[in-house]
Amino acid sequence: VARVLLPDGQYAWMITRYEDALEALKNQKFIKDYRKLYEEDDSDYGSVFSENMLFADMPDHRRLRGLVSKAFTPQMIAGMRDRIQEITDELLDEIADQETVNLIDAFAFPLPIIVICEMLGIPTKDRDDFRVWSNSMIEGSNGAYAQDIQKHMQDFIQYLRDRFETVRKNPGGDLISKLIVAEEQDDQLTEKELYGVVSLLIIAGHETTVNFIGNSIMALVENPDQLALLKEQPELIKSAIEETLRFNDPVEYSTSRWASEDMVFKGQAMKKGDLVIVILNAANHDPSQFENPEQLDITREKSKHLAFGKGIHACLGAPLARLEGEIAIASFFKRYPNAQLNINKEDLEWRTGMIVRGVRELP
Ligand code: HEM
């Protein structure tokens, strides 16, 4: 647990050891809604993107997560297996004749965005717009796109506004329709929260999984002994997925938390309002928990990695991400068992931003 200066001039407590990370993620004295600390006015319209469970504390958190959690149970997700396999096969068919392909654009991105769009009842043809908007919001704050963020956020809000209008007139069985019913009838969801929850599902539903698929393929291609083992024993796919999540974590840092009161955590005196960030990728490489952490070992015992976080904010989409990853990785290597990286590792360009960890292109 150390206090460090961030590139944007703020100080933050960074938590890197596994045990400390676990404790911090579970400790509800570290809160997500910083407005509670300062009683700030929240009228800024751009803030609709944070009106959701990821940035809420109890009891709002339970209410917001409860509205969508039924759609993400392992049983519900298991029912999507055939459709995810079908989308995967179609995408792999499309690249069949190409000698070199950018797997991010052709495979890792379209798969999760098509899946989440179908769950939400959004036309998948609009997916490239989501990509631009959400990339800009996730990376923009410290990337070259800063001037575009505001515009992209407004376009995103306008898109959702039009979408909600269409759905209000003609609701269906999708998740947006269910949320709109909750907003209109039961007073369970405010209008801002409707924007917040839907945008979170679109953003979290693909940004993370794009990197997950890309990082997993990269980890396996770079560790041919492990890839050979997986080909010999395809039943290792589930533990291989967990290991690539640990090894090449797609979400590098947790989202921000704030100390809700003056407190001592792990011997460090923290002040009310101090920013706290858990470095998930560091915890997942803690040698006190993972033997030879820098080695990819797809036979590791049941993994206790923190790639999906822990505590009340533990990833809601984990069962979906796992299923998408399992199908994507198994199908890709079945179809292209000798795939190789067609770029020097040093030339790979990594995405900016503190939360996501993935490459822009994977040739
Ligand atoms: C929360 C990782 C995929 C929806 C989180 C958190 C992590 C995470 C680390 C907690 C952040 C924190 O505590 O600060 C991942 C990874 C994914 C993935 C590594 C892919 C491999 C998904 C998908 C969805 C999703 C596919 C939805 C379709 C969410 C939501 C939350 C969340 C809604 C907030 C939960 C809450 O606050 O109660 N995710 N995620 N994630 N994730 Fe994921």
Beta carbon of 307 within 6 Å of any ligand 1 atom: yes
Q: What is this model's ipTM?
A: 0.98
The answer to whether residue 356 is domain-embedded is no
CB 172 within 8 A of CB 285: no
Q: How many domains does the chain have?
A: 1
Please indicate, yes or no, if residue 357 is contained in any of the structural domains.
no
CB of 209 closer than 6 angstroms to any ligand 1 atom: yes
Whose Cα sits closest to atom 41 in ligand 1?
317
Nearest to 210 by CA among 132, 105, 281, 126: 105
Q: What is the CATH number of the domain that holds 334?
A: 1.10.630.10
Cα(208) to centroid(ligand 1), Å: 8
CA atoms of 27 and 312, how far apart (whole Å): 9
Q: Compare 334 and 37 and report the one with higher pLDDT.
A: 334
Atom of ligand 1 nearest to the CA of 112: 26
- 360 occurs within a structural domain: no
pLDDT (mean) for 306-324 = 97
**Cβ atoms within 10 Å, residue 189:** 21
CA-nearest of 352, 325, 326, 322 to 73 is 322
From the CB of 204, is ligand 1 less than 6 Å away? yes
Q: What is the dihedral of CA 129, 135, 140, 144, to 10 degrees?
A: -80
* Ligand 1 atom closest to residue 61's alpha carbon, by position in its atom list: 38
pLDDT at 45: 43
Range of the domain at 83: 2-347
d(CA 216, CA 245): 7
Q: How many CB atoms lie within 10 A of CB 114?
A: 19
Give helix then strand counts, H and E, for the chain. Answer: 15, 7
- Coil, helix or strand at residue 4: strand
In a domain? residue 249: yes
Phi-psi category of residue 301: left, alpha or beta, with phi > 0 → left and psi -120 to 50 → alpha: beta
Distance 308 CA to ligand 1 centre (A): 6
What integer pLDDT is reported at residue 7 of this predicted model? 78
Instruction: Give the pLDDT confidence of 191-222 residue by residue, as tens digits.
Output: 899 999 999 999 998 889 999 999 999 999 99
- 247 within some domain: yes
pLDDT 10s digits, 264-298:
999 999 999 999 999 999 999 999 999 999 999 99
Please, which pLDDT band fits residue 46 given cuts at 50, 70 and 90? very low
Is residue 355 a part of any domain in this protein? no
Two tokens, residue 71: 């759609």
Which of 175, 208, 210, 247 to mutate to test ligand 1, by most ligand atoms within 8 A of the CB atom? Answer: 208
Q: Which atom of ligand 1 is nearest to the CA of 115?
A: 28
Closest ligand 1 atom to Cα of 54: 37
